């Protein structure tokens, strides 16, 4: 694998870590596998260097990620205010993982973090990093933040002591951010990275089952309902649109995170190029969460930036709309129409 760190970045990273005893790790709101995997791996790596590490997420993460190493220690920014405030007050370094701009932490945590004067380090793989950090390590060409971390470890010579727990966390992030290596994963060096992780003795098949084979009966019944009753198929535009209200989620007794992966499924239909999933936020009334997935060269990130106040990767992006579901559906149709030339044959 080629190096990704410049000489100056290597020096700056050693300096930042060398001068920090208490380190706080942060990720984006509604954390996914790459976010939690990054935090788990970094927690273990930094503790191996003798650092005191506290990991904080803005809000709860899905149950299917709670088995990851150190996940049970993660603080919730929207609930454990005293512990979060104490950790930020003691911090010598703040490390931002898997997001490119402070607003992705949510307003409450963003305000607390940006008020601190301690040095900040960003490690990410999203486009257009925008944060006042002493060092930004951003590589949008890589499949996940976990891959960025692994490549940093190799560049710094830390991979020689890579543990199975660290490798498990890193593999989980890489796997989940590529749909189990079904998109954004054509580069040969991704599989060099996987080979390195496998040398630690991790069981990649078990990791897959722990993430994807832990669902409830309610999730399957909700999925069936959404696909049968709530999926709109636009054949000429090779596009699907699925919507879900909180009432429907509660009807099937499912928790937050239960719909993970739903947006990918319509793309299994022959000829589909774009899938959009709109769902009501369970915590903030009037907020619609938007997920988009595509195949080939359709730019989800451009659509999300233009219509859904978001962004992300070309084939996997998201955003949000502060409006009713009916209004969000209208916006989604406007977005589809605006990109119709790219969706038609």
Whichever domain contains 161, its CATH number is: 3.90.1640.10
Residue 283 sits in a domain of what CATH number?
3.10.310.30
35 and 53 within one domain: yes
166 and 253 within one domain: no
Residue 168 in tokens = 């498990």
Could you list the residue range(s) of the whole structural domain that residue 280 is in?
217-343
The pTM assigned to this predicted structure is 0.89
Residue 131 lies in a domain: yes
Residue at a domain's end among 172, 192, 211? 211
User: What pLDDT, on a 0 to 100 scale, did the predictor assign at position 188?
Assistant: 96
User: What pLDDT, on a 0 to 100 scale, did the predictor assign at position 90?
Assistant: 97
The pLDDT averaged over each successive group of 10 residues in the chain (345 residues) is 96 96 96 97 98 96 94 96 96 97 91 94 94 95 97 97 98 95 92 98 97 91 97 97 95 85 94 97 90 94 95 90 97 98 89
Integer Rg of the chain from CA? 20
Q: 239 — phi, psi (to 5°)? A: -135, 145
User: What pLDDT, on a 0 to 100 scale, did the predictor assign at position 258?
Assistant: 83
228 and 173 within one domain: no
11 and 126 within one domain: yes
User: What pLDDT, on a 0 to 100 scale, did the predictor assign at position 120?
Assistant: 97
203 and 258 within one domain: no
117 and 264 within one domain: no
User: What pLDDT, on a 0 to 100 scale, did the predictor assign at position 257?
Assistant: 75
181 and 50 within one domain: yes
Distance from C-alpha of 271 to C-alpha of 274, rounded to nearest angstrom: 10
Number of domains in the chain: 2
Residue 83 in tokens = 């512990």
User: What pLDDT, on a 0 to 100 scale, did the predictor assign at position 5?
Assistant: 97
Residue 132 lies in a domain: yes
User: What pLDDT, on a 0 to 100 scale, did the predictor assign at position 127?
Assistant: 87
129 and 105 within one domain: yes
278 with 289: CB under 8 angstroms? yes
Torsion of CA 128, 131, 133, 139, to 10 degrees: -20
127 and 229 within one domain: no
């Amino acid at each position: 694998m080629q190096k990704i760190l410049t000489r100056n970045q290597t020096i700056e990273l050693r300096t930042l870590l060398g001068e920090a005893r208490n380190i706080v790790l942060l990720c984006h709101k509604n954390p996914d596998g790459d976010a939690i995997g990054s935090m788990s791996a970094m927690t273990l790596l930094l503790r191996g260097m003798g650092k005191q590490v506290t990991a904080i997420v803005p809000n709860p993460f899905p149950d299917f990620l709670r088995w990851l190493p150190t996940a049970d220690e993660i603080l919730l920014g929207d609930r454990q205010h005293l512990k979060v405030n104490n950790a930020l007050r003691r911090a010598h370094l703040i490390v931002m993982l898997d997001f490119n701009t402070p607003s992705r932490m949510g307003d409450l945590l963003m305000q607390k973090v940006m008020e601190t004067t301690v040095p900040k380090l960003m490690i990410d793989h999203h486009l257009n990093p925008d944060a006042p950090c002493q060092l930004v390590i951003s590589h949008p060409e890589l499949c996940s933040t976990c891959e960025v971390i692994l490549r940093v470890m190799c560049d710094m010579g830390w991979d020689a002591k890579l543990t199975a727990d660290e490798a498990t966390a890193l593999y989980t992030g890489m796997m989940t951010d590529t749909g189990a290596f079904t998109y954004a994963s054509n580069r040969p060096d991704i599989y060099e990275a996987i080979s390195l992780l496998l040398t630690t003795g991790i069981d990649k098949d078990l990791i897959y089952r722990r993430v994807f084979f832990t669902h409830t009966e309610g999730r399957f019944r909700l999925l069936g309902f959404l696909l049968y009753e709530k999926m709109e198929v636009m054949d000429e535009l090779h596009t699907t649109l699925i919507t879900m209200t909180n009432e429907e989620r509660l009807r099937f007794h499912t928790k937050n995170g239960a719909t993970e992966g739903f947006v990918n499924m319509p793309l299994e239909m022959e000829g589909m190029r774009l899938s959009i999933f709109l769902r009501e936020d369970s915590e903030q009334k009037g907020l619609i969460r938007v997920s988009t997935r595509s195949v080939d060269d359709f730019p989800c990130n451009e659509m999300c930036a233009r219509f859904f106040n978001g962004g992300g990767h070309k084939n996997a992006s998201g955003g949000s709309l502060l409006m009713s579901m009916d209004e969000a559906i209208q916006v989604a149709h406007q977005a589809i129409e605006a990109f119709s030339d790219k969706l038609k044959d």
